[in-house]
Amino acid sequence: MKIIQSLEEIEKPFQNAAVTIGNFDGVHIGHQALFHATIEKAQEIRGTSVALTFEPHPLRVLKPDGHPPLITLYEQKCELIERTGMDVLICIPFNREFAAISARSFVADLLVEKIGTRAIVVGKDYTFGRNREGNVDLLRRFSSEMGFELVVLDWIQTLNGTAGRISSTRIRELVQQGRVGQARKLLGRWYQIRGTVARGRNRGGKLLGFPTANINLYDELCPKTGIYAVTVEYAGNKYGGVANIGYSPTFGDHIFTVEVHIFDFDQQIYDQPIRVNFIERLRDEKKFTSVEELARQIERDARQARRILADLTDFKA
């Protein structure tokens, strides 16, 4: 997949571009349906499948103090879109100047003239242009006027139908509630955070007998505080583990941390990138009366996590 990070990189229109447009935060099952439909349309018209997205997320520009946390940071979003088989990803730098572009100019000047769009694939709630003045009805009028085909997909519903349509908002709610197994059904994969291993307070191994990798979160969505069974990806390998998200109430220092104890692992990985997949929430954080009592509970958590991971079809320790 070719990744284009500014409009200046587009030297000429793509051949018969079939384009889908969105923020695609999470690249969840609903987004994946858009990508697959776009690929099919591109094949039908012997053209190029193009995904158009924005960086940073528009709400980070338009509502800097009220934007939601990201489900997928930019690097992961690109990786996930590439896995779908799209030909091109165009990531437009989003700023207030771009936000002021009219709906007509966005379609006529950018999509049709610059990109060479011959088909647009969107969901039925798609909006675009200055102050979201454009919608599917306006796109439909533009399609007749400007000579492109419009494909509007219906919302993808959750499997049991009880949670409504699949959306980034719903996924955020589930992750923030600690319901990572339910979030997986909407994402099509385990919820993952990424980070560089930082030096912690040097007590996991020395005091508790369970060394941990500590990672700092910045812009991404954080699961509910508590203890989780996880898998950890490092240097092309996958390991089992147990993670603690929270404030370590037993020690009373009230510092938020994400700590991961990786099973059967003794490598030095400070300043190295790791990826943590959240499989199941085991329990709430709890204040213990002693370090020894906490260590015994961590041992129980680790045994429970190992049992959960042993049942996964996509992971073998």
> CB-based contacts of 43: which residues, under 8 Å, 6+ apart?
none
Enumerate helices (H) and strands (E) in the chain, giving the number of each.
Answer: 9, 12
Please compute, for residue 198, the number of CA atoms within 13 A of its CA located in the half-sphere on the CB side: 11
Please give the domain boundaries of the chain with CATH numbers for all domains.
2-153 (3.40.50.620), 190-310 (2.40.30.30)
Closest by CA position to 181, among listed 197, 158, 165, 164: 158
Q: For the segment 269-298, what is each residue's pLDDT rounded down to a tens digit?
A: 999 999 999 999 999 998 888 888 888 999
Tokens of 271: 């300043």
Q: Using CA atoms, how far apart are residues 193 and 243, in angstroms rounded to an integer?
A: 12
For the stretch 179-228, pLDDT in tens is: 999 999 999 999 999 999 998 665 544 445 678 899 988 778 999 999 99
Using the CB atoms, write b or e for 69-94: b if 16+ within 10 Å: ebbbbeebbbebbeebebbbbbbbeb
Higher-confidence residue: 58 or 200?
58
Asked if pLDDT for residue 162 goes beyond 50, the answer is no
54, 57, 59, 63: CA torsion to nearest 10? -120
